[in-house]
Structure formats: C-alpha cells, structure tokens
Amino acid sequence: MRNITNILLLLMCMVGFLPSCTEDDTVKERTYDLSFGFESLTELQHRKQSFVAGDSVSLLAWKKNAEIVDLSGLVINNIRWGYNGGEWLPAEELNVETAEGAESIVALYPHLNGDYDLEYLKSVPLNRETDLLYARVSADNGLPTEKIRLKSVFAALAVSFDGDVAPTVGSFTLEMYDQAFLNVLTGEVRTEDVREKVTLEKSTKVKSLFAAQIVPQTLLSGTTFMVSGISYTYDGEDVAVDSGEVLLLNFKVIPGETEDKGIVTVLDKEDFDIKDFDDNGTVEGELD
C-alpha cells in the first residue's frame, strides 16, 4: 500500500498538481536578446560603416534618477556584448532582477577595456583617429528589446570648392578645436579651449571636396583658412555642429579690382546632399 501511495505522489508531482515538489522555485538566469546598430557619420571618409564580427559594445545602466557617486551605483557595469557576425551575445548572463532595474541605459563602442573609475567615465578622451559610438536610452521595464542605435560622438566637416580654386594638393589644414572629452553618463562632450591644426583629406569619392572627422564645436565667424597659399575667411554667423552631424562649407572666390577675395559659406543640408553626387563627382543642381 505504501508503494502505491508513493507512486501516486510521484505522478502528481510530474503533472504539476503539487508545485511544492519542485527542487528549486528560484527564477533562473536568462540571456536578454539585444542588438546594436549605428548611423554612419559620413561616407566621405574611410570610417566604419557597419558592425562586423569581432566588434564588442560596452553596456552600462542605472536606475532612474539614481545619483551615481561611484561605480557601485551602476546596476550594469560594463558588460561586454560581442558580435559574431550574426547575433550579439553578452559575455555574462543577466538575471531578471538586475535587468529590470536598468532604466537609464548606455551603449558605447568600442568596449571599455581595463580598469577605470567614475571620473574616467565622466571624461573619456576623444581621438579623431578612432571611432567612438554612443547611445543613451531609457526603458520602463528593464533592457529594451528593440535594436539600440548608436551614433558617432564626433562631427564631420566637409568642404567643397567652386571652379578652379580647388587646391591641387591632397589635403589642407585649418585651426579648430581638437581636444574634447565625453561624459558617458550624460552624453555631453566638453571641448578644451585649445585650437590646433586639423587636416582635411581630399575625398576619393567626390571631386573637389575635402572632409575631416572633428570634435563637436562651433565654427566661429572670422575663422581663416589657408588653402594653396590663398586666404579664405568665413564671414557668416557662428554655427554649431553637434555629435553625429556634418557641417558643409563651400569655398567661393569673389573677383575684386585689386585682388580676389575668398569667402566661405555654410551650405544648407537641404540643398547639398552627399547622396546627390554621382560616380563622376558632380552634383545635381547648383551649390548655393
């Protein structure tokens, strides 16, 4: 009789009539399906155009309105998500409670390597020779399920030339702000008040056009450019270019009685589109 009772109890556990028979009632850890993409800053330079196998992104997160005084305030601290060419996989699993506590979420490419402290996160140096992509999103119920889209922390400067004024060399320089730092927690970029020579390289895709990746800043009225020994002055209003944006300038020559005067004007993005250029490097319509 005892054997029959034991068999009946076993059968009830198997069909779920007695939930207390389970060995472990805790919620098991699971991997969240996250994916990442980014908006390319410009096709005029040989910069990163898409993620490839081997790329990895840092993920950081904290609770809404949390005051971050040290790294312990982060509920997710630099978990690496790697791309294998088909999907994004985390280097470690996230439990449900941790993931659902994440409401302010930051993704950063490339992945943060090595030891760092909170002060470093507030002042990550920008290097124009490398790509730095960033996204900050908010979520009400933990990590988002849709793709997180990053954008470049940098801006871009593209300069076109009218007529025969285009320099014959492959590059030219101008003085701009070139030192800046990213606050990973806020997404703000702080620019050092130091002007240095920035080199603009000739585009291999577009005739008479030069481009450079620059730190976000304001082009100041009165800025002077020296191109092939000719001085050009931007005499318009101060114009700001933010992260992920392209500032388009056009060089023109105004004939004078004694000498030609070079001027620089800002092109309206609606009148000038990189995609308008064909394979011969010409543009549809006029450059205003």
- CATH number of the domain encompassing residue 103: 2.60.40
- Rounded to the nearest angstrom, the gap between the alpha carbon of residue 162 and the centroid of all alpha carbons in its chain is 32
pLDDT at 67 over 80: yes
Termini Cα distance of the chain = 97
Q: How is residue 275 annotated by DSSP?
A: G
Q: Are residues 222 and 237 in the same domain?
A: yes
Across the chain, mean pLDDT equals 75
Q: Which of 71-75, 149-153, 228-232, 275-279 has the lowest mean pLDDT?
A: 275-279
- Rounded to the nearest angstrom, the gap between the alpha carbon of residue 158 and the centroid of all alpha carbons in its chain is 18
Q: Per-residue b/e over 167-206, b at no fewer than 16 CB within 10 Å?
A: beeeebebebbbebbbebbeeebebeeeeeebebebbeeb
pLDDT in tens, 2-43: 444 443 343 344 333 333 333 333 333 445 678 899 887 765
Q: Which of 96-110, 158-172, 223-237, 253-267 shows the highest mean pLDDT? A: 96-110
* Number of CB atoms found within 10 A of residue 123's CB: 13
pLDDT of residue 5: 45
Q: Could you give the 3-state DSSP secondary structure of residue 280?
A: coil
Of the candidates 123, 152, 181, which is a domain's last residue?
152
Residue 14 belongs to some domain of the structure: no
Question: pTM of whole model > 0.95?
Answer: no
Domain count, the chain: 2
DSSP 244-257: T-EEEEEEEEE--S
pLDDT of residue 266: 78
pLDDT at 255 over 80: no
Question: Could you tell me the residue range of the domain that residue 191 belongs to?
Answer: 155-276
Q: Could you give the 3-state DSSP secondary structure of residue 134?
A: strand
Q: Are residues 142 and 41 in the same domain?
A: yes
pLDDT of residue 187: 94
pLDDT of residue 283: 33
Confidence of residue 145 (pLDDT cuts 50, 70, 90): low
Q: Are residues 148 and 35 in the same domain?
A: yes
pLDDT of residue 186: 93
Higher pLDDT, 40 or 60: 60
pLDDT at 119 over 90: yes
| Alpha-carbon gap, residue 202 to 205, rounded angstroms | 9
* Number of CB atoms found within 10 A of residue 281's CB: 13
pLDDT at 74 over 60: yes
Q: Are residues 146 and 34 in the same domain?
A: yes
Average pLDDT score over residue span 207-223: 85
The letter for the amino acid at 65 is N
pLDDT of residue 69: 85
Of the candidates 152, 170, 199, which is a domain's last residue?
152
pLDDT of residue 288: 28
Q: Are residues 178 and 234 in the same domain?
A: yes
Higher pLDDT, 256 or 21: 256
Q: How would you class 136 by CB atoms within 10 Å of its CB: exposed for 0-12, middle for 13-18, buried for 19 or more?
A: middle
- Report whether the peptide linkage leading into residue 110 is cis, meaning its omega lies within 30 degrees of zero: yes
| Alpha-carbon gap, residue 41 to 133, rounded angstroms | 10
Look at phi and psi of residue 65 and say left if phi exceeds 0, alpha if psi is from -120 to 50, else beta: left
Pairing outcome for strands 155-161 and 209-214: antiparallel
Average pLDDT score over residue span 251-260: 64
Q: Are residues 147 and 183 in the same domain?
A: no
pLDDT of residue 3: 45
Q: Are residues 171 and 105 in the same domain?
A: no
Higher pLDDT, 150 or 164: 150
Of the candidates 119, 137, 152, which is a domain's last residue?
152
Higher pLDDT, 54 or 172: 54
Q: Are residues 182 and 141 in the same domain?
A: no
